[in-house]
Structure 1
Amino acid sequence: MAKRFPTNPRHPERICWGCDLYCPAKALACGNGADRTMHPVELFGEDWDSFEGHLEKPVDTGHAAKPS
């Protein structure tokens, strides 16, 4: 069973979020690479989990382009 993914951790910069091990940033054990994987809150802000609702919807005006 996978661990529950925290939506807004206190100090996301201290942990690698690349897999279910959640290794400390200074001691990567999974071989994920040289750098840690950032938490989405670090990349997109505190409302990252509701990001989809903020996407702009395409507007269809119903007008076709006029040939020149």
Structure 2
Amino acid sequence: MAHKKFPIHPAHPERTCWGCDKFCAADSLACGNGSERTQHPVELFGDDWAEWGLDPVAAPVAERAEPPPQA
């Protein structure tokens, strides 16, 4: 079974429950995911939610700790 592609910027995210791959209507909740619909990340975090996180191009650089001074 193929999974549906998750939309980054849906037109009306408030009309859909985003809690599973079914993407039920907000008043349907066929999956039994709870008593309320799951909000889309754009509703919770804003339009730039998909840009958060690590930069996939630049690898994190480990900082070298200076060796402790010899006594």
TM-score (norm 1): 0.75
Structure 1 unaligned blocks of 5 or more: 54-59, 63-68
CA distance in 2, matches of 1:4, 1:17: 12
Structure 1 segments of 4 or more deviating over 6 A?
none
Name the amino acid aligned to 1:44: F
Alignment RMSD, CA only?
Answer: 1.6
- Aligned residue pair count: 56
CA distance in 2, matches of 1:9, 1:52: 21
Name the amino acid aligned to 1:27: S
Percent sequence identity is 58
Shift of residue 52 of structure 1? 1.3
Structure 2 unaligned blocks of 5 or more: 55-62, 66-71
CA distance in 2, matches of 1:51, 1:43: 13
Greater helix proportion? 1
